[in-house]
Structure 1
Amino acid sequence: KHHCPFAIPPSQLLTWPLNHNLPLHLEASNFLPKPSAEWLRQTGLKAKKLSLYQVLAPNAFSPQEAFIPILRKTVSSTLHQRAMMQFEWHDGSVKNVHVDPALLYRYQKQLGQAVRTFEHRVDWLSTDSRKIWGTLCEKRVVLLVDISVSNSMHIAHIQHAVRLILEQQMTNKHRFNLIAFGSDVEQYQPQLVSPTPDHLQDAWRWVLGLQYGGSRNLMAAFKRAIECEVPEVQEPCGVYLFTSGLPDQEKDVLGAYVAEVTSGHDLPLHVCLFQIGDFGLDSPVPVRYASPSETASELRSLARWGRGRFHWCQDTVGTDRENRELGSNSCRDFFLNESYFFVQCTMLVESLKGRSRRHADGLLQWGDEEKTLVRERQRPLKLPGPKPTALTLARMVGHF
């Protein structure tokens, strides 16, 4: 047996991304991104007036009933068989809708363009730092990074995530700061600083020197973030928590504190859950352990109490991730509405075509019968054959 004279730290056995320790490659960003909820309010189907009901509303009429004195009875409105269809409205009522195939064809093309815009947004959110952190929408940002002992075997992934956010989404901010927390709390600067190239490079070197250990004392880290925030500045300051598990504090205690603090400050708390998989036999056991779904549920509630957004990714390097930025309800509602509107458009046009076709067939059949009658009326009558001349009564008497 051979005895190793020195122990190799587990972190030295990790696989590090290429050029991990090199200086940051800063990317210029010339616009401030919007939260997806706000983006949908400005770019969604209703905002663009692409709801099928908005398109059909000018040509939709409610069925009417009125008493006609001259007829002495109640008369109901009827459909124009060649151009109108009955259509169920969003409130459950039935409307008589004038179907314009050209209008509905243009509408279907606009729906296709809206889908491509939405898909482009989803692809953009699923790349680089946005698939890990989501979008940083505030002009002042504080990053809370979980460096507990539970993450000691995932240093490479966490540092890579911080590197991406510093390179890609921090250059257009007004102020920023970094706070790392385990059992104790460390911060890059006592106050928020401007994201100059020197400050960003210095912050990256500070991240590389962090030592991982302890539990997850999130309440102390959040208190430190409040101290960094300058109340006199009338700008929102977004706090972005990057963690892989539950904090030390109980859900109700921490949630009540976060809700109280964020209600008096423009300081939303956004939660970015980094899913690192199940703990192995050699992995440190966290103070509070829960299943991935239970962890996500509690942290989602924490983001709701903090008036922020919840983002969940499963790996910062691989492609197996779950982008929660748009929200499952928004994605589902958008595509369900788009599919429903497209199908209803097609059904309206096809129903009108079928009715027109039946009407044309009836006209053709009626026309054929009328032409047969006309031909029979216009056909010359046959003259009767010659008959022998009959003698009159006088000639018959004279003959005898």
Structure 2
Amino acid sequence: QPLISSAKWLQVHGLKRNKLSLSQILSQIGFQHRKDYVTTLGKLVASRYADGLFPQYKRAQDGSVYNLTAKKELILHFVDCLMGAIELYKQRMEWLTSESRQIFGVIQEQCIVIVLDFGTAAPTEFDLCRDALSTVLVEQVTQIAKFNLIRAAQDLMRWQQKSTPVSEYTVKSAVTWLWKLDPETAASHTSSAEALLEAMSDEAVSS
């Protein structure tokens, strides 16, 4: 799937966009049972002409009642459409909660700098971090324009001096650099802030 936000995804696949929200479906398979104000009674009174004539549906949200007039075929059509929408939503949720997206979300920017702050991670944790970073590089960074890696350390470490165009070669190079990092590199209490400032100073990222 392309790297798009859920908001943009819903603009294409959402229920409202496809006229499958409850109110939209009800307006296509029936009509609302109206209430009119009766002056002599001084209150709203629902018409009774349709009582028993049509099946009715009462919305839990506002208590409004709809008389259902659609034929079975049309209702089954909407059932099929809703089942298809449910399947799409399931696929989207599975995609969002799998692989690198489970940790990093969906990268939407075209130019990024990933700041690596391993702190005092144990060797096994350090390798887990590198595994996760390698995965996001291969799965998501390959779909954007530019990237760079900066490691927070006493002596700041950069994969490249500035963000670099994405290609198969540069992604492989970044992964190789990542796995050559020393887990015991010294850090200071200002390392994280310095690395973030360095990342933000990249003109391609800030533009």
Do both proteins adopt the same fold according to a TM-score greater than 0.5, normalized to the shorter chain? Answer: yes
- The question of 1:103 aligning with 2:74 is answered yes
Give the deviation of 1:140 after TM superposition.
Answer: 1.2
Q: Is the 8 A contact 1:179 1:188 kept in 2?
A: yes
For residue 60 of structure 1, give the secondary structure of its aligned residue in structure 2. Answer: strand
Deviation, 1:86, is 5.1
Q: For residues 195 and 86 of structure 1, do their structure 2 counterparts lie closer, same or farther at Cα, with a shift above 3 Å needed?
A: closer
Q: Does 1:220 align with 2:194?
A: yes
- 1:204-243 → structure 2 map (5 Å cutoff): 204-212=175-183, 213=185, 214=187, 217-230=191-204, 237=205
Specify the alignment match of 2:134 in structure 1.
163
CA contact (8 A) 1:87 1:97 kept: no
**CA apart distance, 1:127:** 3.3
Summarize deviations over 1:270-319 as a string: whole Å, max 9, x none.
Answer: xxxxxxxxxxxxxxxxxxxxxxxxxxxxxxxxxxxxxxxxxxxxxxxxxx
Q: Percent identical across equivalent pairs? A: 23
1:301-316 alignment runs, 5 A limit: none
Matching residue's letter, 2:199 = A
Match in the other structure for 2:17 = 47
Deviation at 1:110, TM superposition (A): 1.3
Partners of 2:176 and 2:59 in 1: CA distance: 63
Pick the aligned partner of 2:32 from 57, 61, 66: 61
Residue 151 of structure 1 and its aligned partner are, at CA, apart by: 4.5
Instruction: Give yes or no for contact 1:85–1:99 (8 Å, CA) kept in 2.
Output: no
CA distance in 2, matches of 1:109, 1:139: 37
Tell me if structure 2 keeps the 8 A contact 1:179–1:186: yes
- Residues 146-190 of structure 1, C-alpha deviation per residue, up to 9 Å, x if partnerless? 222235441221121222222222223211111111455322112
CA drift at 1:209:
2.2
Structure 1 residues 157 and 67, CA gap change in structure 2 (3 angstroms)? closer
Distance 1:57 1:215 in 2: 64
Shift of 1:54: 1.0
Aligned to 1:200: 171
Which residue identity lines up with residue 109 of structure 2 in the other structure?
E
SS in 1 for 2:17: coil
Indicate the RMSD between aligned Cα atoms, in angstroms.
Answer: 2.9
What CA deviation, in whole Å up to 9, does each residue of 1:2-58 have, x standing for no partner? xxxxxxxxxxxxxxxxxxxxxxxxxxxxx7410123323431222222112111124
Q: Distance in 1 between matches of 2:45 and 2:106?
A: 60
CA distance in 2, matches of 1:99, 1:215: 72
Higher alpha-carbon Rg? 1
Within a 5 Å distance, the mapping from 1:130-209 to structure 2 comes to 130-209=101-180
Aligned to 2:53, the other structure's residue is in SS state coil
TM-score by length of 2: 0.79
TM-score, scaled relative to structure 1: 0.44
C-alpha distance in 1, partners of 2:37/2:93? 52
> Does structure 2 conserve the Cα–Cα contact (< 8 Å) formed by 1:129 and 1:165?
yes
Q: Answer whether contact 1:53 1:89 (CA < 8 A) is retained.
A: no
Gaps of 5+ in 2: none
Which secondary structure state, in structure 2, belongs to the residue aligned with residue 171 of structure 1? helix
Deviation at 1:219, TM superposition (A): 2.3
